[in-house]
Amino acid sequence: MKQDTRITNAKQEVREVKQEARSTATSHWVVLLAKLGYIVNGIVYIIIGGLAAQLAIGHGGSTTDQRGALRTIYEQPFGKVMLAIVAIGLLGYALWSFVQAIFDTEGQGRETKGIMARIGYAVTGISYVLLSYGAFQLVLGTGNGGNSSTTTTQNGTASLLQAPFGVALVVVLGLAVIGLAGLFFYKAYSVNFRRHFSLNTMTPQWRKWAMLSGRLGYAALGVDFLLVGIFLVVAALQHDPHKAQGLDGALQTLLQQPFGPVLLAIVALGFIAYGIFSFVEARYRRMGRG
């Protein structure tokens, strides 16, 4: 009987510790930092959309990715100050991604689909930590903001291909990215992201903008991830890491297709829409609830 009581008390203490940790991770200040993260993410994607639009009309370069967006901010008047704020926001977005992964604030559950979603949040958190680090490097003058997404992808692919079962690993990674693209397309079609919003606090006009910008934004992300995933599979099958492409390389490839400028302009519009959607998330997304 005493042992059963000790076990029950231990379980209760574990639950209390978990609840306290969750309360700390979803505290007012953490949520505020996460909201700044959503705003900064929106700014970054609007800039990416603008860079892609310039590329579509023949006036852009090749840095149509997150690193290019950071460089664009840095080159503006008071660029260092703005980029420092962006770096903090990116760190906030990363922190909230880890909170989503660890404490399941989105209510994904412990089934296979939910676990995969939470792994996706963790991977997003890692990528935004690296992006924030690159932004801080620019601010402090200790680096150039990091490599482009294509260079990073090719370097990572080369390392994986040299590992045991490297080809299989890269194929699996490419298929996983394609699967994520499918998830984005599903979100755009089903509008299931609306369950994360406090719809009762939104005006009909805001609800309309949220749904429209979300659908366009997730569709654009789907195109991006689909192309990146396909290039990863091709790189694996041909055992050539230079076949892998990041966001900037994928958009360059899209531009070279029949009706490429039109297709790229549509995707650019989608990225801008996703940026607007991130602003809506900062204002109306439910945060800290499972």
Asked whether residue 6 is domain-assigned, the answer is no
pLDDT of residue 48: 92
Asked whether residue 10 is domain-assigned, the answer is no
Asked whether residue 290 is domain-assigned, the answer is no
Asked whether residue 256 is domain-assigned, the answer is yes
Would you give the distance in Å from CA 111 to the centre of its chain?
22
Asked whether residue 16 is domain-assigned, the answer is no
pLDDT of residue 102: 87
Least Cα distance to 118 among 106, 132, 136 occurs for 106
Number of domains within the chain: 1
pLDDT of residue 244: 93
Least Cα distance to 281 among 39, 52, 75 occurs for 39
Integer Cα distance of 180 and 124 in angstroms: 12
Asked whether residue 191 is domain-assigned, the answer is yes
Q: Are 136 and 123 in contact (CB under 8 A)?
A: no
Integer Cα distance of 253 and 256 in angstroms: 5
**pLDDT lower than 50: segments of the chain:** 289-290
Tokens of 205: 């006009």
Asked whether residue 13 is domain-assigned, the answer is no
pLDDT of residue 290: 43
Q: Residue 275: which domain range? A: 23-284
pLDDT of residue 119: 84
Asked whether residue 4 is domain-assigned, the answer is no
pLDDT of residue 120: 83
Q: Are 192 and 281 in contact (CB under 8 A)?
A: no
Integer Cα distance of 271 and 58 in angstroms: 18
